[in-house]
Structure 1
Amino acid sequence: MSLLGLNYCGLGLDAAVGELRDLIRSYNPVVVFLSETKMKSRAINKLKWSMGFQNGVAVDCVGRSGGMALWWREGVDVSVRPWCQYYIDAKISLEGKVWRFTGIYGEPRTELRHRTWEALRYLRRQDDLPWIYAGDFNEVLRQDEQIGGNSRNEGQMHAFRECLMDCGLTDLGYMGYSFTWNNRREGEANVQVRLDRGVATASFLEIFPNAQVEHIMTEESDHMALLIRTEATAPRRGPGQQRGFMFEEMWLKHDGYDHMIQEAWDNNPAADTGIRGFWQKLQDMSRDIKRWSFDTFGSVQAELKALRGKLEEAKVQQLVSGSSTVVRDIEKKLHDMYEKEEVMYRQRSRQEWLKAGDRNTTYFQNRASHRKRKNTVKALRREDGSRCATNEGMVEMALAFYQHLYTSEGSSNSDDILALIERSVDEAMNRELVGSVTDAEIETALFQMGPTKAPGKDDDSVVFMDATRESMEALKHVLQVYEVSSGQKFNIDKSSVFFGKGCPAERRMELKASIGISCEALSEKYLGLPTVVGRSKEGAFKHLPEQSWSKAVPTYPMGCFKLSRKACSKLTSIATGFWWGSAEGKRKPNKPGVCLPGLNHCAPEFSVREIRRVEEVLLDDGQGWDEEKLPEIFFDGDVDDILKIPVGRAGTDDYLAWNYTKNEVFSVRSAY
């Protein structure tokens, strides 16, 4: 089942009508929503019949602006609710599922856009039906949803994000081109924005877990069409493609887990020695563990369903027998299974900051579902620009890509490079490097990883040179020699170049073209952070509130940069709003064990503290921690950890230290 939504900016021209007819014929939607038709309802109804729809409603345009329409096919039970110039709201029943669709045309005037968010909150209070909301919102959630033109107003974006949060709506993402509106001007005057999107509640995603939004190119409108498929199927593994082994943290809660691991290890002797034999032993163990999980541990969801049914029967029986023993036993089993379910979703959601046992299963489930939707590969784009959406085709494309990527082109003349490298590894160091790995080294490496994480590493190379044609040619020659000698290709697409302020724009273009690099380094972000922070910190870190809204408190950027007081204040406001703001159109109730802002002498299990800068908890001379102020801001356990962090003393100089050896001196062994 699919829905089609489009802002047409006027449907009066024959070309626009013809394009709409082609879209409907190509995608066969059961529901069509049109905004900014710039037509009266009588004309829209005539158009509806010509498009093959027997049912629908229309909202008149006002002058030469506005106008909306909602059409639906025969066999779809639609109950339209009162509408206004911003939306058409409808209850839809189809194939045994009941849900709600609202088509939106957001207020185009910035100073009046709050009316759209007020209307959305009003709609959310009407009922708790699964809900999807789609159309032209005339606003974005983040700065990166626009290219060209002036920066978006942070206050307007914040109001949009707050509205979605209050209503419990999640952005469905998209497939296709990133920006849905284009002002169709040339050069620097061109502006493109993602104004159109689909958002939905968690309950909608429960009944349509594979719902997806696709951006469809159009010619007659400056907006792209939204194609929403509610029953889109996620790619599945084909015959013979088994899911790889994945450790489940909830296994640890089973009484027989330790015995099973020991038995699996003992029953799978290695057929070979060394690392190959160890790898084979782990492969055999993983099969035994998966079999045990299926046979003994079972499915958490299936077990919960069965226990709930047994509990209902036991309570009915209790009315007759008067005995509550069976009921208590089942309730205990349910308690244990709920704990396992929570651990399972916590692991899938990758939320490490909240420990197991807090009964936040709904939160974890939503995070896990969002993560699955985000990580699911629904299609790949071929070199000719066409899209491959079949599972078999994507498997072939992935295999071909990585076979090409990891196929060596051969190497020659490696001695030419080695002769230029000064020897830094002596015989003693070499013996240590090629020596056997000890159990203690393996244990140290393993326990440095998170219990449910996998290790990874990323290295970069930086070259400094003059901004001249000769220097660029010399660099090209060095890279070519390296490629021939090592067999490794230099990746132009992942490379960038940075020019000093004195380098003219014409020379920059010339040098980038000569080596084939199009990206300038400091115009990009690395790990989500600006590569350079200038005088305006507000501009460099204006994205942090956006990250906090969609993810969590950005502790990594805060550990790398000194944020302004204004940025800290915004982050504090977001955190307090999460706990005590509005949700789904209603004021959030006070949480038990959560301290309200401004209250003193409370003993909360969890409280929101104001986000501060480090300098505010140091002594005036900067030579130590302010032990009186620390407890006012941090929890007791955090205060103990902070006091263990040494603060530089007067008269001492900084020095380089290696964190992975006791004497702080680098050694080759510690680097591996």
Structure 2
Amino acid sequence: MNLLSWNCRGLGNLRTVRILGDLIKSLNPAFVFLSETLVDKGTIAELCLKPRFADFFAVDKVGRGGGLAVLWKHTVECKIMDHSNNHINVHFIENNCPVWRLSCYYGFPERSRKHNAWNFLRRLAMDTNMPWCIFGDFNDLLYSTDKRGEHPHPPGLLEGFREAIEGCNLVELELKGGQFTWEKSKGKTNWVKEKLDRAFATEEWWRKFPLWFKEEVSVYWRSLPATNIIPKLMSVSEFMAKWGRAFFHKFRDKVRCQKEVLNSLVNREDDAGVKLYFEEREKLNELLLHEEVYWKQRAKTFWLQEGDANSRYFHAQASKRRRLNKIPHLINDEGLRVEGQEEMNTMTNEYFTNIFTASETLSEKEAIVDQHIITETQNERLVADVSFEEFTEAVK
């Protein structure tokens, strides 16, 4: 399902409406969130009919500013749970049950209200234990490289927003396209660009929607020969572990490459070289910060008062969790302890082979009786294709 979030900055003119129509036509979103509509519900109702959306919900503008709206198509089953001038909470429904929550968010633009915005995010995080995703215009920056312009963003505001995101146990979704989502005074000496629009999700949401990882595993599964199910599961489990290390543990290589870029510029004395040096140094600082946040989230520990930014403590906590999740040994039918990966693999294979292999000692009468133990409905479930969700749960 495609979702679109856009700060349209006013739907009162035809130019903006045309741009929105083009976005909907090219991206074909099933669900759309619009912030700063600057119009009332009547205008949103008219807009809803043109792209043939099934329904909508709107929050009227306040004075000359504000206004939120969500629109969805017939393929989407959802329910509006609550709202304010800065958010709309939506529950998405499957089989008549809510399965995940989406918060459509518009952050306070005033710097004096940033603490209110961060506390508001924390309250949203405590609303439910469902898988949660939040997206929209946060009017906030996570890193110094999220802004390009004359005046840098205050470090205290950067840190405050990061602490709020980490405290909500949120992980950012990677966006495609340009680095910045807002700008003013384009082409002039005071040109400013910022990354204000973002999307985050909890660990539970990521497990429900593993995105490209699902496709990676599916492709690998199809590439394996059609042999016994146990070797295939073991092979895919090993693939998933390697993929996770490759995807999440590239920080060290990225930091090394960035340091090399920085060293190549250290002796530059021309204006362009000095400017480029400071830009690349900021990129290095951002990489180090990303690594710190990653280890904090992996360790599921969300505090860091002071000390080494490399955070040996968080590495230790994450490694401890990994040891706890590992199976060190198995006990066989004779009560003996079996250790070693190869021995445990053999024991597991033999165990399931014995379970699923028909016994040769059954008499003909016993076999006939056993045929009626499983109902037709149960048999249909047994021979049905394994879903991706069942597979993922089995190899965790």
2: distance between equivalents of 1:101 and 1:461? 40
Q: Are 2:145 and 2:282, in contact at CA under 8 Å, matched by a contact in 1?
A: no
Relative to total residues, which structure has the larger helix share, 1 or 2?
A: 2
Aligned residue in 2 for 1:299: 233
2: distance between equivalents of 1:496 and 1:576? 30
Name the aligned partner's letter for residue 371 of structure 1.
F
Name the aligned partner's letter for residue 79 of structure 1.
K
Aligned residue in 2 for 1:208: 209
2: distance between equivalents of 1:94 and 1:499? 59
Aligned Cα RMSD in Å?
4.7
Superposed displacement of residue 193, structure 1: 1.0
Aligned residue in 2 for 1:548: 292
Superposed displacement of residue 150, structure 1: 1.2
Residue 36 (structure 2) pairs with residue 53 (structure 1): no
SS of the equivalent of 1:299 reads helix
Per-residue CA distance 1:14-33 (angstroms, 9 max, x = gap): 11111111211222211110
Q: Which runs of structure 2 are paired with 1:230-379 in the superposition (5 Å)?
A: 299-300=233-234, 349-350=244-245, 371=248
Unaligned segments of structure 2, at least 5 residues: 298-303, 321-396
Aligned residue in 1 for 2:277: 522
Relative to total residues, which structure has the larger strand share, 1 or 2?
A: 2
2: distance between equivalents of 1:460 and 1:133? 36
Aligned residue in 2 for 1:4: 4
1: distance between equivalents of 2:261 and 2:72? 57
Name the aligned partner's letter for residue 91 of structure 2.
K
Q: Are 2:89 and 2:103, in contact at CA under 8 Å, matched by a contact in 1?
A: yes
**Distance verdict in 2 for CA 1:116–1:577, change over 3 Å:** farther
Residue 21 (structure 2) pairs with residue 21 (structure 1): yes
TM-score, normalised via structure 2 length? 0.63
1: distance between equivalents of 2:64 and 2:230? 68
Q: Are 1:210 and 1:234, in contact at CA under 8 Å, matched by a contact in 2?
A: no
Name the aligned partner's letter for residue 207 of structure 2.
E
Superposed displacement of residue 79, structure 1: 1.1
Name the aligned partner's letter for residue 42 of structure 2.
R
2: distance between equivalents of 1:574 and 1:461? 21
SS of the equivalent of 1:189 reads coil
2: distance between equivalents of 1:2 and 1:571? 42
Per-residue CA distance 1:382-414 (angstroms, 9 max, x = gap): xxxxxxxxxxxxxxxxxxxxxxxxxxxxxxxxx
Aligned residue in 2 for 1:90: 90
Superposed displacement of residue 550, structure 1: 3.7
SS of the equivalent of 2:83 reads coil
1: distance between equivalents of 2:81 and 2:282? 46
Q: Are 1:77 and 1:94, in contact at CA under 8 Å, matched by a contact in 2?
A: yes
Larger deviation, residues 31-40 vs 122-131: 122-131
Superposed displacement of residue 299, structure 1: 2.4
Answer with 1 or 2: which has the greater Rg. 1
Superposed displacement of residue 118, structure 1: 1.7
Name the aligned partner's letter for residue 163 of structure 2.
E
**Distance verdict in 2 for CA 1:14–1:98, change over 3 Å:** same
**Distance verdict in 2 for CA 1:569–1:119, change over 3 Å:** closer
1: distance between equivalents of 2:132 and 2:59? 21
Per-residue CA distance 1:627-654 (angstroms, 9 max, x = gap): xxxxxxxxxxxxxxxxxxxxxxxxxxxx
**Distance verdict in 2 for CA 1:495–1:130, change over 3 Å:** same
How many residues align? The count is 306
TM-score, normalised via structure 1 length? 0.39
**Distance verdict in 2 for CA 1:129–1:109, change over 3 Å:** same
Name the aligned partner's letter for residue 99 of structure 1.
W
Q: Are 2:184 and 2:192, in contact at CA under 8 Å, matched by a contact in 1?
A: yes
Percent identical residues: 27
Superposed displacement of residue 70, structure 1: 0.8
2: distance between equivalents of 1:18 and 1:525? 39
Per-residue CA distance 1:108-132 (angstroms, 9 max, x = gap): 0011022222222212212111111
Per-residue CA distance 1:264-297 (angstroms, 9 max, x = gap): xxxxxxxxxxxxxxxxxxxxxxxxxx999x8876
Name the aligned partner's letter for residue 198 of structure 1.
A
1: distance between equivalents of 2:259 and 2:38? 55
Aligned residue in 2 for 1:162: 163
SS of the equivalent of 1:107 reads coil
Unaligned segments of structure 1, at least 5 residues: 213-230, 244-289, 303-340, 351-367, 376-452, 463-493, 509-517, 530-540, 554-567, 580-592, 594-672
2: distance between equivalents of 1:545 and 1:459? 15
1: distance between equivalents of 2:62 and 2:178? 32
1: distance between equivalents of 2:128 and 2:154? 32
Superposed displacement of residue 7, structure 1: 0.1
Residue 174 (structure 2) pairs with residue 173 (structure 1): yes
Q: Are 1:148 and 1:188, in contact at CA under 8 Å, matched by a contact in 2?
A: no
1: distance between equivalents of 2:49 and 2:192? 36
Per-residue CA distance 1:173-224 (angstroms, 9 max, x = gap): 1111111111143233111111101111111111211169xxxxxxxxxxxx
Aligned residue in 2 for 1:77: 77
**Distance verdict in 2 for CA 1:572–1:346, change over 3 Å:** farther
